[in-house]
Structure 1
Amino acid sequence: METTVKRSHPKGLWYLFGTEMWERFGYYLMLGIFSLYMLDGWNNGGMGFDPAKKSDIYGTYLGLVYLTPFIGGLLADRVLGYRKSIIMGGLMMATGYFLLSIHSITTFYIALFCIILGNGFFKPNISTLVGNLYSGDDMKDKKDAGYNIFYMGINVGAFICNFVAAYMRINYGWGHAFAAAGVGMLIGVVVFLIGTKHIKHVDVIKPVQEGDMSTGKILGLTVLPMFIFGIIGYMIPGNFLGSDTNDAFIIGCIPVIGFFIYLAFKAEAKESRAIKALLAVFTCVILFFAIFHQNGDALTVWAEDHTDRNMPTAVSNVADKLGMAQVVVNNDIVSADQATFDKTIEEMRAKEAAMPAVSKEEIVAKGKYSSEIGQLEKSRKYFATLPGDQVPAKGTDLKLYSTELYQSINPFWVVALTPLVVGVFSWLRRRKKEPSTPTKIFIGLLITALSALVMVGAVFATNDLTMKASSWWLIASYGVITIGELCLSPMGLSLVSKLSPPRITALMMGGFFLAISVGNKLSGMLSSLWEEMPQKENFFFLNFGLVLAAAIVLLLMLKWLNSVMKENNVA
């Protein structure tokens, strides 16, 4: 029985909102500290990877975490159903987060595997259920607004999580922060189970039509070749995309991309045009995500190393009492010349290595000593580009905004700006002037390009990185890209729901996430250029040019895309 009030949003939307909020709490908590965790020294509780390896793993992880929805979407469409897939995926992701809380190379990679696989079952299917709630004729015109509301749920979780991450990391260490992500994911699963009665009526497995490929054949033509192509790409001598994993990932995607192209040309005429339109949009949005997801890599490094994070006194007093201030100290070691500093740290590391760690007291003492060394290194690095008159006197400290908190700027803007963006489009709809969904995506790409120019200004403000940039540069850049995001990302989900043939909606949702996957991998590849480019403004000029090119391509296709929308009686 339908649980809606006429013309209002379905009750099931609010349970999906809550589920996604807590799932994204865990996902973005992990992502917000992921690069910092990989860069932090092993003795400080991190992985101790170099910047190139960090960006490689970051991009590969983000790529794979959005590649598996192709498989999860297909199995949900054909075999499992959406609710069962979501529950399975949620539990897998929770397992992954809890495994990350264990400081071990082995569990690190097992944890990433669990999260990647779990997201594949969770992500496309909860988005598909949102679209299914609006399948009735009286609800179709509210689908875009429904996805915007759902998208705001994502960002409520993404906003809150970074405060929890900062508190747990500063006071208890990396492991407790990752465990908090696991707890959040479990809460999301519970919310979903409570609300399932409002959702089960739209959890319908569509029958396979005559002439459709069997599930086994699809997996045999895509997943198996994907692994084979990936292995070939990894084993090719040398590399042509920066690293062996880059080669493996991009070459491995070729069979899946080929399958979607085959699907477009094999379908009957009307469905073929709809699938081709979706694939054209997917291609353009790849570059949006290549830029957008640098927030967890290049922009996190910018926040850590080049942003003035000093707290005003009134804020620092409160933050310190709450245990959420990152502290940098000045003493004789930190302020010594480079050779003296390096020698002192080397001697301290040797002493640490020689410290016994058998009894509980010895383990605690060794951990504290290791943290002291990490504190000295981080203080030295922060002060390196801080004007001399801002460096605290010896024996005193500065209290800083934790780097993780900068990851909350984007979701804050989403929550703040979503009502405005939805309101503007609703106002235009009432006057019959609302842009089509493809036009909204074009606008989103154009605005995203402008956000890169804001960061060009940030680079110039540092005088060639000899000074720190104000936090307002990041706040402004995230604000601009958020407007672009709101015009593009939820609209992409809505477009898939509108144009996909009903029996393969989740599969096509997996195709959208495949585009995100490739974009995410490109984000890691682009971020790896950060260390190599001496003129950092050129890094952001490159971002600007790439997204602008995608916007121009989409603009040239708008007339055709809008005609396909009209043919399918959607806007």
Structure 2
Amino acid sequence: MASTTLEAGTTSASPVGKTFLGHPRGLATLFMSEMWERFSYYGMRALLVLYMSTAITDGGLGMKMAVAAAIYSVYTAMVYLLALPGGWIADRFLGARKTVALGGSIIMIGHFLLAVPFKASFFAGLAFVAIGSGLLKANISTMVGHLYDGPNDPRRDGGFTIFYMGVNLGAFLAPLVIGTIGQDVSWHLGFALAGVGMALGLAQFLLGTRHLSPKSDVVTSPISAEEKSKVFKLAGLWLAAAVLFYGVVAGTGHFTVDWAVWPLSILGILLPAFVFTKVKRDKDLTAAERSKMSGYIWFFVAAAIFWMIYEQSGSTLSLFAKKNTASTLFGFDFPSSWFQSLNPLYIMALAPVFAWLWVALSRRAKNPSTTVKFAFGLVMVGASFLVMMMAMAAAHGGAKVTPLWLAMVYLIQTVGELTVSPVGLSVTTKLAPAKYASQMMGVWFLAVTAGNCVSAILQLVLGDDVVGSTGYFAVQGALAVVAGVALWLYRKRVVALMGDVH
């Protein structure tokens, strides 16, 4: 797969020598590392809710469906929330390369903790995987950028495209392999296989580190000794307070999962509100930057609603696949976790089509605005849950519906994702105030956190009688469609707030 020379007329920030598909050799290292990390993450994710909701007699944890879905939502929210401190640790303490190596090691330990058949070990493993993912996710994409000579390197966009193909390749293969082993052989063996996947990714990263750019070792904004002392003291105080509080709760026999899920869910909603308030009140911002932030809030809220529904692919949709969907198609039997491979498969097939479509429309001056694309994405994800409403109605009375229902739902969601996720990353960089240029990408990920936390609270409040019901899908689907229509109706106001950004 590797050629022997760099493309004529280009240089690389990484060592000169063999290249990977015409790109710096380090891209192969990051491609394989991320592919295996995503293999481990999505493989574990495909099993998570199924394992938690399976009866104890069948090897699971025997949790109520709504509680299992809420834990999944909070766990996913924390993965994205912890990307913020993950980036900060790289910038101030370790540099990107060391932070990614540390994150991969913690993820690997977490997966192997999940493989131990004890409840305490299971939750410790989830914490490890979330913390490690925050460290890794925030920095490995940055390291891809380090391989190129600045933002104008003509190979840069192509390099990120190849890198994200690795993301989706790992996500596609994981449910097929880990899902099969976990559901058909042993839950804990499946979790262990996820750990092996991360171990392979970590080994690939460490062995190929010589091909990475020296920029990835640089601590861009080293923390001073005085700041470090303050940070450690403050972190120590919060940690001591948390240990004391939860120690008392556990010691008095009152601790339940709710004591963890509720505080984290509330934090995931309040934190974005705090961040936006802080930025909006910053006196260093110009009037134009404040206006752009007002416009950006529309996109943030729209994204939070989108992810609230979209991220339930591994919870309510996964449970529907197990309980209400036939596991046979054209005479072929398969585990329900295989449905989790549909989204990355659709992305790999459709992403090039959408990339071509936007360029083609731009040439004809017909490329939809960012607000229209977001509105379309919201309508699509809402429509997916309206289709789920019909699928749930068809499954009334315990009937097993055709797998084509879920295949349609995931297809609709993927089309919506391709008009929200990449577009959201782009508009975040365009609307970010100069002072917060680096931090705003972390703020974008907080939309995923907020959406998942709202979902977790709904699931806890509504309980098993409502979560996953026809009404449950109908209300959320209708909410997203209405939000999409509202964004479209107010698109001129949002465009006005965006100023010179289109």
TM range (shorter): 0.7 to 0.9
2:340 paired residue number: 407
Q: Secondary structure at the match of 1:91?
A: helix
% of aligned pairs identical?
Answer: 33
Equivalent position to 1:197, from 196, 202, 211: 211
1:524 paired residue number: 456
Q: CA–CA distance in 1 between the matches of 2:273 and 2:240?
A: 14
Shift of residue 470, structure 1, vs aligned partner: 0.8
1:58 paired residue number: 72
Higher-Rg structure is: 1
1:443 paired residue number: 376
Shift of residue 64, structure 1, vs aligned partner: 1.9
Which one-letter code corresponds to 1:167 in the other structure? T
Q: CA–CA distance in 2 between the matches of 1:483 and 1:104?
A: 40
1:252 paired residue number: 267
Which one-letter code corresponds to 1:115 in the other structure? V
Contact 1:229–1:248 (CA under 8 A) maintained in structure 2: no
Shift of residue 420, structure 1, vs aligned partner: 1.4
Equivalent position to 2:194, from 177, 181, 191: 181
Shift of residue 169, structure 1, vs aligned partner: 2.4
Moved more, 271-280 or 508-517: 271-280
1:268 paired residue number: 285
Q: CA–CA distance in 2 between the matches of 1:16 and 1:557?
A: 41
Equivalent position to 2:133, from 119, 122, 138: 119
Q: CA–CA distance in 2 between the matches of 1:36 and 1:501?
A: 43
TM-score (norm 1): 0.71
Shift of residue 292, structure 1, vs aligned partner: 0.8
1:158 paired residue number: 171
Shift of residue 188, structure 1, vs aligned partner: 2.3
In structure 2, stretches of 5+ residues that fail to align are 1-10, 250-256
Contact 2:428–2:440 (CA under 8 A) maintained in structure 1: yes
Q: Deviations over 1:328-386 (max 9, x none)?
A: xxxxxxxxxxxxxxxxxxxxxxxxxxxxxxxxxxxxxxxxxxxxxxxxxxxxxxxxxxx
Q: CA–CA distance in 1 between the matches of 2:291 and 2:454?
A: 28
Q: CA–CA distance in 2 between the matches of 1:274 and 1:228?
A: 39
Contact 1:86–1:126 (CA under 8 A) maintained in structure 2: yes
Q: CA–CA distance in 2 between the matches of 1:182 and 1:223?
A: 30
Kindly indicate whether residue 463 of structure 2 is the aligned counterpart of residue 514 of structure 1: no
Shift of residue 173, structure 1, vs aligned partner: 0.8
Which one-letter code corresponds to 1:268 in the other structure? L
Contact 1:134–1:142 (CA under 8 A) maintained in structure 2: yes
Q: CA–CA distance in 1 between the matches of 2:433 and 2:148?
A: 15
Kindly indicate whether residue 324 of structure 2 is the aligned counterpart of residue 306 of structure 1: yes
Distance 1:217 1:454, change over 3 A: farther
Matches within 5 A, 1:209-220: none
Moved more, 42-51 or 251-260: 251-260
Contact 2:12–2:148 (CA under 8 A) maintained in structure 1: no
Q: Secondary structure at the match of 2:62?
A: coil
Q: Secondary structure at the match of 2:63?
A: coil
Contact 1:148–1:490 (CA under 8 A) maintained in structure 2: no
Kindly indicate whether residue 102 of structure 2 is the aligned counterpart of residue 92 of structure 1: no
Contact 1:74–1:507 (CA under 8 A) maintained in structure 2: no
2:254 paired residue number: none
Q: CA RMSD in A?
A: 3.9
Q: Secondary structure at the match of 1:66?
A: helix
Distance 1:191 1:551, change over 3 A: farther
2:412 paired residue number: 480
TM-score (norm 2): 0.80
Q: Deviations over 1:45-99 (max 9, x none)?
A: 3222222332232222222222211211222233332222222111111110011
Q: CA–CA distance in 1 between the matches of 2:180 and 2:233?
A: 46
Contact 1:96–1:114 (CA under 8 A) maintained in structure 2: yes
Contact 1:459–1:537 (CA under 8 A) maintained in structure 2: yes
Contact 2:64–2:464 (CA under 8 A) maintained in structure 1: no
1:33 paired residue number: 47
Which one-letter code corresponds to 1:402 in the other structure? P
Q: CA–CA distance in 2 between the matches of 1:185 and 1:517?
A: 24
Q: CA–CA distance in 2 between the matches of 1:245 and 1:122?
A: 24
1:72 paired residue number: 86
Distance 1:425 1:140, change over 3 A: farther
Q: Deviations over 1:495-554 (max 9, x none)?
A: 334444577555333222222112122333445547323993222111212222442454
Q: Secondary structure at the match of 1:291?
A: helix
Q: CA–CA distance in 1 between the matches of 2:92 and 2:418?
A: 31
Shift of residue 277, structure 1, vs aligned partner: 4.5
Shift of residue 410, structure 1, vs aligned partner: 1.4
2:5 paired residue number: none
Q: CA–CA distance in 2 between the matches of 1:543 and 1:140?
A: 42
Q: Deviations over 1:225-272 (max 9, x none)?
A: 89989979x99xxxxxx9554541243342563144213421421555
Contact 2:97–2:216 (CA under 8 A) maintained in structure 1: no
Contact 1:24–1:158 (CA under 8 A) maintained in structure 2: yes
Q: Secondary structure at the match of 2:400?
A: coil
Equivalent position to 1:421, from 337, 354, 357: 354
Q: Deviations over 1:115-168 (max 9, x none)?
A: 11111111122244456667845359975x765554433221111011112332
Distance 1:522 1:154, change over 3 A: farther
1:320 paired residue number: none
Distance 1:196 1:274, change over 3 A: farther
Moved more, 87-96 or 426-435: 426-435
Q: CA–CA distance in 2 between the matches of 1:446 and 1:84?
A: 41
Moved more, 555-564 or 510-519: 555-564
Q: Deviations over 1:287-318 (max 9, x none)?
A: 111101111111111111111223544x3xxx
Contact 1:35–1:296 (CA under 8 A) maintained in structure 2: yes
Shift of residue 280, structure 1, vs aligned partner: 3.9
